[in-house]
Structure 1
Amino acid sequence: MDVLSEALASMRTGAPHSVRTDGRAPWALRLPPTAGAGFHVVLHGSCWIYPTETSTEPIAMGPGDVIFVRDGSGHILADHPDTPPEIPRPEQYTGHAPIGALRIGGDGPAASLLCGNYHLDGQRPHPLLKQLPEVIYLPARHGRHPELAAAIQLLGAELDNPRIGSHGIVPALIDSLLLYILRAWIEDQPQTDSVGWAAALRDPAVAPALAAMHDDPSAAWTVQSLADEAGLSRAAFARKFATMVGEPPLAYLTRWRLTTAAKLLREDDLAIEKVATRAGYSSEFAFGKAFKREYGLAPGQYRRQSRAAA
């Protein structure tokens, strides 16, 4: 079981929205906060990015560089930090599916970016996402993260020269980009780190236990049976898991069971009794009580509200 993919899938609430931004100096965009997580990929040229709601210093970006904004906080993209920013107007956006288009600026040096937003459930984010920095900067480096670099090159080629199949290829590449970005960040973390999700996902004891819970959340897991998966004593496993992940094993298991149930309620037509069984609850009553305690709504109400808002 790929824990990273599962954690992200549990939070996704819709397809990503993307815009190709082509600017010629002088240009600067003030982008307001959005729900979910944002990203920017420099396809050609160079630009600067600086968040408006954090103390992060302006970052100079070049071809192949990637910025990931964890909470979709407001920020500015510009040809230079001194250029006064403007808020893009709806009529400036053109283009058709799978992405929009925005052209701005004067007649100076050109830059081209792919900008987008992933719709994630920000009310109950997976703890993996909460541990990420507010802004992740992944500069293009020769030989570093070749899969991410290849995805960016493919995106650039499809956007520069759309052909048969591009409307299917581009959304799939944008969708995959989120996993490539987070994989690259995790792999960049020091191997000496002993706490946090980056360490947990590569730890030879904690990672198998996490995978087991994600693979079969309905199983009657105990701390001892998870410790057996990890190859550690019960006490050693419980201590190591809590230190790395930030909560005890069974607390994480409960969280994951209810997260799994919420996803099923949003996306599937299973009877609530079957959702309860898949989430590891022996009765619909016990499930409903646990779900309402976590989400503030009964499972049926949650399903109706989620679908009405979609």
Structure 2
Amino acid sequence: MDVVSDAIAAVRVGNPETTRVSVTGTWCTRIEGYQGAGFHVVLRGSCWLLPDSGDAPVSLGPGDAVLLPHGTGHILADSPTDERTVRQAVPLERWFASGEPFPGTVPDPGDTVQLLCGKYRLDRSRKHPLLAELPAVVHLPSRVGGNQELRAAIDLLGRELELRGPGSCIAVQSLLDLLLVYMIRSWMSDGAVGAWPGVLSDPVAAAALRALHTDPAATWTNDSLAVASGVSRATLARRFTTLVGRPPMAYLGWWRLTLAARMLRDTQDPLATIARRVGYGSPYAFSHAFRREFGTTPGRHRETADGRRRR
């Protein structure tokens, strides 16, 4: 596994959701904050996104994508709106539930805006620092020749939602997973501000992370990880700690417990099995480390996760 894949897998819960939206004329809708990540893709026309985070309004044109990785509440509108209009914005869920044309819409078929709107459910209790440093709003504008994989995923997803052919349910879910990966990848490659794009482009830190994520249960030491990274122990410790923000073995311990928390959430495997899979010699050692890190026992963590799923 690579770091980006692992970071996403560690927090993903359930299946993503999406819908295709078509509006015309004058409109304004509110999307409340939520426990997950949201996204919008403009298939046709243009609109504005006004985030609750206080960031500047974002103009979205044809082919643009925007990711809200922390579930920031926001408004979508046909234009930058005044305060009174914002207060009167119709919640998106109420609009969908009504089945009616968008409230307050002024019909103008020549000015149709088509959007893909969706969200991913995330468990933010153990977010990987790569995801944690994403900004509240990640705007990925459409550019000729740029982000070709993202553009292809958007085109395929829009077409699949429109046609709904055989196997569409599986196809849409897979394309949504692909869309999230490509949005994060595009952010990292488009001059992202943050530590982790630099971490993953550094040959020493990237090699060490790749080794730890490939086999987290291995009996790693600083010496063996230095060999796997092709540098001396001192060089590894200096580069890794400076870039990642914690020493290699501290990162490994944190990552092992993050993996364990996901297994407790997503499986019914016994504690002994989970302990072994993440590199602990006994359930007792695992439980002790887990409680020190999380402030609760593995069993209680699993009960809490089960309770959240039932709600």
Amino acid across the alignment from 2:185: R
The 1-side partners of 2:67 and 2:13 are apart by: 18
1:134 aligned onto 2:133: no
Amino acid across the alignment from 2:77: A
- The correspondence of residues 77-116 of structure 1 with structure 2, limited to 5 A, is 77-82=76-81, 84-85=85-86, 86-88=89-91, 90-93=93-96, 103-104=101-102, 105-108=105-108, 109-116=111-118
Amino acid across the alignment from 2:290: F
1:5 aligned onto 2:5: yes
The 2-side partners of 1:9 and 1:276 are apart by: 19
SS at 2:126's partner residue?
Answer: coil
SS at 1:242's partner residue?
Answer: helix
The 1-side partners of 2:43 and 2:184 are apart by: 19
8 A Cα contact 2:46 2:59, kept in partner: yes
8 A Cα contact 2:32 2:91, kept in partner: no
1:15 aligned onto 2:15: yes
Q: Any idea what the Cα deviations from partners look like across 1:185-210, whole Å, max 9, x if unmatched?
A: 112237xx9x7111222222111210
Matched pairs, number? 301
Which residue of structure 2 lines up, in the alignment, with residue 33 of structure 1?
A: 33
**Residue 252 and residue 102 in structure 1: after superposition, are their counterparts in 2 closer, same or farther (change >3 A)?**
farther
1:94 to partner: Cα distance: 5.3
Which residue of structure 2 lines up, in the alignment, with residue 291 of structure 1?
A: 290
- The correspondence of residues 41-190 of structure 1 with structure 2, limited to 5 A, is 41-54=41-54, 56-82=55-81, 84-85=85-86, 86-88=89-91, 90-93=93-96, 103-104=101-102, 105-108=105-108, 109-189=111-191
Greater Cα offset, 64-73 or 18-27? 18-27
The 1-side partners of 2:106 and 2:18 are apart by: 23
Amino acid across the alignment from 2:74: H
8 A Cα contact 2:25 2:107, kept in partner: yes
SS at 2:21's partner residue?
Answer: strand
Q: Any idea what the Cα deviations from partners look like across 1:48-87, whole Å, max 9, x if unmatched?
A: 1111222x21111111111111211111111001262413
8 A Cα contact 2:20 2:117, kept in partner: yes
The 2-side partners of 1:159 and 1:14 are apart by: 20
8 A Cα contact 1:20 1:102, kept in partner: no
The 2-side partners of 1:188 and 1:224 are apart by: 35
8 A Cα contact 2:29 2:77, kept in partner: yes
**Residue 21 and residue 39 in structure 1: after superposition, are their counterparts in 2 closer, same or farther (change >3 A)?**
same
Which residue of structure 1 lines up, in the alignment, with residue 256 of structure 2?
A: 257
The 2-side partners of 1:2 and 1:67 are apart by: 24
**Residue 197 and residue 226 in structure 1: after superposition, are their counterparts in 2 closer, same or farther (change >3 A)?**
same
Unaligned runs of at least 5 residues, structure 2? none
Amino acid across the alignment from 2:115: L
Alignment TM-score, normalising by the size of structure 2 = 0.91
Which residue of structure 2 lines up, in the alignment, with residue 242 of structure 1?
A: 241
Amino acid across the alignment from 1:240: R
Which residue of structure 2 lines up, in the alignment, with residue 98 of structure 1?
A: none
Q: What is the RMSD of the two structures over their aligned residues, measured on CA atoms?
A: 2.0
SS at 1:123's partner residue?
Answer: helix
8 A Cα contact 2:31 2:92, kept in partner: no
The 2-side partners of 1:116 and 1:306 are apart by: 23
**Residue 131 and residue 295 in structure 1: after superposition, are their counterparts in 2 closer, same or farther (change >3 A)?**
same
Q: Any idea what the Cα deviations from partners look like across 1:207-249, whole Å, max 9, x if unmatched?
A: 1210111111111111221111211111111111112112211
Q: Percent identity?
A: 45
SS at 1:34's partner residue?
Answer: coil
The 2-side partners of 1:48 and 1:271 are apart by: 49
Alignment TM-score, normalising by the size of structure 1 = 0.91
1:163 to partner: Cα distance: 2.3
Amino acid across the alignment from 2:257: L
1:199 aligned onto 2:188: no
Is the helix fraction higher in 1 or 2? Answer: 2
1:43 to partner: Cα distance: 1.2
1:124 to partner: Cα distance: 2.0
Q: Any idea what the Cα deviations from partners look like across 1:249-270, whole Å, max 9, x if unmatched?
A: 1111011100111111112222
1:103 to partner: Cα distance: 4.8
8 A Cα contact 2:30 2:92, kept in partner: no
